[in-house]
Chains A and B, each alone.
Chain A
Amino acid sequence: MEGLIQIGIFVVLLAVGWFAGRAAEKRHFRELAKLEASLRDILVFNERRLPPGGRFSRTTLVVGSVVIAEDYFKRVAAGLRGLVGGRITVYESLLDRGRREAIVRMKQEARELGATMIMNVRLETASMSEDQSGRAPMFSAEFIAYGTALVPDRRS
């Protein structure tokens, strides 16, 4: 009986994770598509040098950062995948969302500065899942996008 209750709790958590997680992910992807479209005019490059002939009044660091947590379903599905190996597709979409959101936030900062280009863009990811006991309670990851925003010289 007690075993059944535990299995029941597990199934409920799994269902909550699946429905809530899927709704959040769908909404996030919709928002990302909209924001990316509105920020298309800010160009991003990983090139380190300034474009030749460009005249800029200011170059400055811009950063976009986001932390995204998994849901219970993703966690269990990834754990199961960890037994047999292969693509963890549930995390692939999570990491994709994180990277895109970080770039969007970096671009928003650049927009406020009046920049039209961001050069030398770098992306970094950090896992925040481990605590000191060595057990991973919940997986979450921080994504940072940073680069050099170029504000054009309006006088030229």
Chain B
Amino acid sequence: MSYENPDVPHEVNVSRDNALVEFLRLLAGVALVVLAIAAALYLAGGWLARQIPFATESSWVGDRVLGIDVAPAGTRDDVQPYLQTLSDDLAAAMQLPDSMTIRVHYTQAGTANAFATLGGHIVVTNELYRLMPSENALAMVLAHEIAHVKARDPISALGSGASLALVFAVVSGEADGLAPRLAGLVQLGYSRSVERDADREAVAALRAHYGHAGGGASLFEVLAAQQHPVTGALPTFLSTHPADAERIDELMRAAADWDAVRQPLTPVRVPAARGD
């Protein structure tokens, strides 16, 4: 009997595929699946959050404006009651359900901005208020934000954002700190269609309140003129809301039947103080 060791082809154990190509293909596949799951959860989270009764949302939030330090603005304390009365009138015109209450905050800030947040709170900055050419434009801003509250957009955004944070936490596993920041990056405000719906609702409210939809589009012209001379940055109200020509066109069309002579715009009743 003779003993020998044959030559063994060792390469059978080594994959001929390029490991990097395989890795990238796998990464792309997994990323696609994760994105699909994230999109599904984003939509489901938003939908589920909308099912929370408004009364429950208000009881969670209370009188605070979540996340933002609202500093009462200016020396004139009659602006806030004026904004509150105007938005109450608009809310009535928009047939806001009785269970929903709108609370308007007038705040000191360097940028022209207005936004609606959880619990029916609407924040208007003194900078935006100062720029309003007419009460009609101001009503357009308020009605737009009331429409967001009516459609439950703020809590829907919260639900979507929370779902995304969950996905990132599960996927990243060890990178705990990364998850909320990434979720924050993705949550960049409302979608275009949500904004368009809010615009339509606001135009209807303007028509119900003033009998015409004039003055709404001028709001955007005023804000666009405020474009920062150096950086070219738009005021926040515009940059977070898609201020495309289409949107302005739609407002113009809505105001096409408005006769500026017979239906004059209402001036802002309480002028902003000079120091505000």
Contact = CB atoms under 8 A, between A and B. Distances in A.
A39 B118 CA distance: 76
B181 A3 contact: yes
Contacts of B178: 3, 6
A100 interface: yes
Contacts of A87: 15
Contact of B14 (A22, A45, A96, A117): A96
Contacts of A52: 1
Nearest to A87: B15
Interface of B: 1, 3-5, 10, 13-15, 17, 19-20, 22-23, 26-27, 29-30, 175, 178, 181-182, 185
A5 to B, nearest CB: 11
Contacts of A18: 20
A77 interface: yes
A96 B13 contact: yes
A2 interface: yes
Contacts of A84: 26, 29-30
Main secondary structure of the interface of B (DSSP, over half): helix
Nearest to A77: B23
A117 B181 CA distance: 63
B26 A44 contact: no
Interface residues of A, number: 30
B34 to A, nearest CB: 10
B22 A89 contact: yes
B19 to A, nearest CB: 5
Contacts of B26: 77, 80-81, 84
Contacts of B13: 92-93, 95-96
Nearest to B13: A96
Interface of A: 2-3, 6, 18, 22, 29, 32-33, 40, 43-45, 51-52, 73, 76-77, 80-81, 83-84, 87, 89-90, 92-93, 95-96, 100, 117
Contacts of A92: 13-15
B95 to A, nearest CB: 43
A80 B15 CA distance: 17
Contacts of A77: 19, 22-23, 26
B181 A80 contact: no
B3 A3 contact: no
Contacts of B185: 3
Given A3-B181, A3-B185, A89-B17, A80 B30 contact: yes
A102 to B, nearest CB: 14
In order of increasing CB-CB distance, the 10 nearest A-B pairs are A89-B15, A96-B13, A77-B23, A93-B14, A3-B181, A43-B5, A80-B26, A90-B19, A43-B3, A3-B182
